[in-house]
Amino acid sequence: MSRGETWFDEAAGPLVRPYAVTRGRTRGGQADLQMITLVIALQRLTSALSAQLDPEHAQIMSFCQHPKSVAEISAEVHLPLSVVKILIGDLIERRLVTFRSAVTPDLQVLQAVINGIRQL
Amino acid sequence: MVYVSSEPGSPVPDLQVTAVKMLVAGGFGVGKTTLVGSVSEIPPLRTEELLTELSRDVDSLAGVEAKTTTTVALDFGRITISPQLVLYLFGTPGQDRFWFMWNELSAGALGAVVLADTRRLDTCFPAVDFFERRGIPFVIGVNCFDGSQQYDIDEVREALDVEGVPVVLCDARLRESCKQVLIALTEHVIKLAVRRQQSSASS
Ligand SMILES: Nc1nc2c(ncn2[C@@H]2O[C@H](COP(=O)(O)OP(=O)(O)O)[C@@H](O)[C@H]2O)c(=O)[nH]1
Ligand SMILES: [Mg+2]
């Protein structure tokens, strides 16, 4: 966890206070966000906008100027997936970011995946 | 995955981005993180999920609930195949108590690589069971550790009782070797998809 809020309990593993940054909320908005749902900012993060946002929200806005998965956002801001989903939900509600849900890839996409891996 | 804009009318940049997700499963220490690192364009990233239900801390100050819980960490890598296509590779957590994560992990996954170590083949049984029961396509990557006895691919397939599942020998430390495993998985996924299409067309 960030913010130095990690304690260690030998029996139970690390204890964390993940919901501090969501002001105690453990549920977000309606958006169905999955690990590889892509999130994209709808605005540039100006200093005026930044001043209106919590630091974590601003960090996500800045990171999502290009499409980023929920998992990448979680890694970037050092917060668990379920916490980050709540924060992204806030930004969706304020129309500062949008997201794209996943649907099953077709054969053309699968073939492109093979070609892409070959070229690595 | 093909991404569909959440709001069709909104001014969305980068209109069509497609991404796919593959899983890398197997017992603890079998080389999952190594494989992800070998093919990822970035050093493997680490995300985490909350492990337990929230507990109410009655002693917390100011009437604010202090939520305490433990977390489980997941490694993942990213391969940008083109500006429109991204492949994410997720290592699954090894220990049994993290099984709850597997449902979320496998949702929308194209398929999985189950890594096996021939010195302790049984450690990959739970992963094989999981993907079989959910009908998620998978291949077996036999990670060839130094000093381990060289097994025949057919022997491994038989020991795991996975008829029709590709078994590929690999070294998780080598990019070329890992690429072959991922290609084998994607080809297997295509084969199964084509077979499904044919059988639904003929019925
Ligand atoms: N000899 C050999 N060692 C490997 C191979 N793959 C992984 N290792 C080593 O095995 C150890 C465990 O690998 P790791 O990727 O952390 O396993 P994980 O628990 O499945 O993520 C590391 O020290 C790796 O360097 C391999 O193909 N051959
Ligand atoms: Mg690992």
pLDDT single digits (tens) B34-45: 999 999 999 999
Distance CA A79, CA B150 (A): 42
- What interface predicted TM-score (ipTM) does this complex get? 0.82
**Closest residue CA from atom 1 of ligand 1:** B145
Q: Which two tokens stand for residue A46?
A: 């100006």
Distance CA B51, CA B29 (A): 21
On the question of pLDDT at A105 being above 70, the answer is: yes
Helices (H) and strands (E) in chain A, counts: 5, 5
- Give the Å distance between the CA of A90 and the centre of ligand 2: 32
The ligand 1 atom at the shortest distance from the C-alpha of residue B172 is 27
Span between the terminal Cα atoms of chain B, in Å: 28
Burial class (CB in 10 A: 0-12, 13-18, 19+), B61: exposed
**Nearest residue of A to residue B89, measured between CA atoms:** A36
pLDDT > 70 in chain B, percent: 79
Helices (H) and strands (E) in chain B, counts: 5, 10
Q: Is B33 helix (H, G, I), strand (E, B) or coil?
A: helix
The ligand 1 atom at the shortest distance from the C-alpha of residue B115 is 20
Task: Please give the model's pTM, rounded to 2 decimal places.
Answer: 0.84
Residue type, A10: E
| CB atoms near residue A63 (< 10 Å) | 17
Mutate to test the interface with A, among B4, B5, B6 (most CBs of A within 10 A): B6
| Residue B90 touches chain A, beta carbons under 8 Å | yes
Model pLDDT, residue A10: 40
List chain B residues with CB under 8 Å of A80: 47-50, 71
Evaluate: CB of B196 within 6 angstroms of ligand 1.
no
Q: Is B200 helix (H, G, I), strand (E, B) or coil?
A: helix
Is B179 close to A105, i.e. CB distance below 8 A?
Answer: no
**Of B17, B202, B73, B47, which is closest to residue A14 (Cα–Cα)?**
B73
The sign one gets for the Cα dihedral B144, B148, B153, B158 is negative
Range B1-29 average pLDDT: 67
- Strands B18-25 and B85-91, bridge-based pairing: parallel
- Domains of chain B, CATH where assigned: 2-202 (3.40.50.300)
The listed CATH number (1.10.10, 1.20.144, 2.60.40, 2.102.10) that belongs to domain A17-119: 1.10.10
Q: Running DSSP on this structure, what letter comes out for residue B137? A: -
Evaluate: CB of B32 within 6 angstroms of ligand 1.
yes
Least confident segment among A88-102, B63-77, B86-100: B63-77
Instruction: Report the run of H or E that residue B131 belongs to, with start and end.
Output: helix B125-134
Distance CA B12, CA B4 (A): 11
